[in-house]
Amino acid sequence: MLNRKKNQIVIALIILLCILTPPLNAQAAIIKEGISSNKNVYYVSSVKENTLAFHLIRNRMETNVKIVYKDKMIPSSKKDLKYYYSKEGNKCIFDLYQNLVLPYTNKTYACKGFSIKSAKYDKKKKTVTVEYKFEYYDSLEESDYTNKLVNEAIKKNIGNLKSDYQKAYWAYQFVLDHFQYDKTQSNYSVHSGFNEGTVCIGYATLYCSIMNKLGLECMVVEGSVYHDEFLTHAWNVIKLDGKWYCVDATWGDEDIPSKYFLKSKDTFLKEEYGVHQARIYDDFIKAGEIFSDTDYLDNNELSNHSILPAVYDIELDILKCNVLSINEAYYFMLQNKYNVPINFKSDDTKIAKVSEDGIIVGVGHGTTVITAYNDDLNIKQSIAITVK
């Protein structure tokens, strides 16, 4: 950490407490309000305009950028919003990466980080000009490829995703179906997740990107988890029905998927969930945001009041996106709230088999139906599995 006595520059921006991504229609309105940019210089006079500026910067994958902030964005209380800039280090102590970069994206690449090259307050114009230098894990070509893949998947499935919950689950399962973890921990990009594998920041960035594309508020959280020792980690928070929930696609890919999907902050802080700690929790609460006290499915009873299938009572064809290769495994993600005994069956075991725990394995080419059921309670939920 840099010496706070060196060149203390206050850039106190109210946006640190307003880090949510606006829906696309709101962005259109912001553009009409007249944010102006010329030669990588952005003039920002409101929280919304700052949000749009970071969208544009990320979408264009710009590296050297100036943002000119109007002084009305500087709050009267500067206690918690000081940035300490060091000319020697060319970096800012405050965690700008988490608070300013990650929330403002609907593209599918991870930002490696950025530094502040300079920061200057103009008393006459009453503006603060900050020069940023951005770096990215994904190249422009890799980003374009990934975005095309994701956009095509969304276009194919969006008509079947009727609720925000279905969108959140579909995106979660998409990441788990297409990504693999890089156990060498050498790849951080989103693009590598589709090939040799990626780490947590890649998982979290892709999930956040899909959620933003689907019009839901979601952001990447960087903090720590406990696994024999505390380690740095990235996951997501997503807003449903006015409250925030936690999602960890990385751990869901390595463990039982439903265990890390739409859980409360308090659940994620439990030891059996890895003690997901992050400063952003307190920042959200200070900003007036609400974290749910309970897991999402605990608050959403379904018609049978006994079992809560992950995608509600939707039709079978909504889940045709589940595609396996031969010998590839897939977990039938079913949230069993009341510990009701559930049986599983496959309509054609020559195409796909399913274990008593709901683990589906591709056997031969074709499409079959896997069903979770309890005849005594009249519970039934099915999905289609295609093996290629």
Q: pLDDT band at residue 275, thresholds of 50, 70 and 90? A: very high
Q: For residue range 172-199, what is the model confidence (pLDDT) as tens digits?
A: 988 988 888 888 888 888 888 888 888 9
Q: For residue range 104-126, what is the model confidence (pLDDT) as tens digits?
A: 433 444 566 667 777 777 778 87
CATH 3.10.620 intervals, the chain: 140-299
Q: Which amino acid is at 84?
A: Y
387/327 Cα distance (integer angstroms): 9
Q: Is the pLDDT of residue 221 over 80?
A: yes
Sequence-separated (6 or more) residues with CB below 8 Å from residue 51: 15, 18, 20, 21, 22, 30, 103, 104
- What global pTM score does this model have? 0.59
372/346 Cα distance (integer angstroms): 9
Q: pLDDT band at residue 51, thresholds of 50, 70 and 90? A: low
181/167 Cα distance (integer angstroms): 23
Domain 308-387 has CATH 2.60.40.1080: yes
SS3 annotation, 100-124 = HHCCCCCCCCCEEEEEEEEEEEECC
Query: Whats the size of the chain, residue-wise?
Result: 388
Helices (H), ranges, the chain: 24-33, 47-60, 96, 140-157, 164-178, 200-213, 249-254, 265-268, 280-286
19/27 Cα distance (integer angstroms): 14
Q: Which helix (H) or strand (E) holds 68?
A: strand 64-70
Q: Is the separation of the CB atoms in 258 and 333 below 8 Å?
A: yes
Residue of 179, 357, 358 lying closest to 253 (CA atoms): 179
> In degrees to the nearest 10, what's the CA dihedral of 273, 239, 310, 300?
100
> What is 140-299's CATH number?
3.10.620
Q: Is the pLDDT of residue 157 over 50?
A: yes
CATH 2.60.40.1080 intervals, the chain: 308-387
90 three-state secondary structure: coil
In the structure encoding, which two tokens stand for residue 195, read together? 């090939």
Q: Is the separation of the CB atoms in 116 and 96 below 8 Å?
A: yes
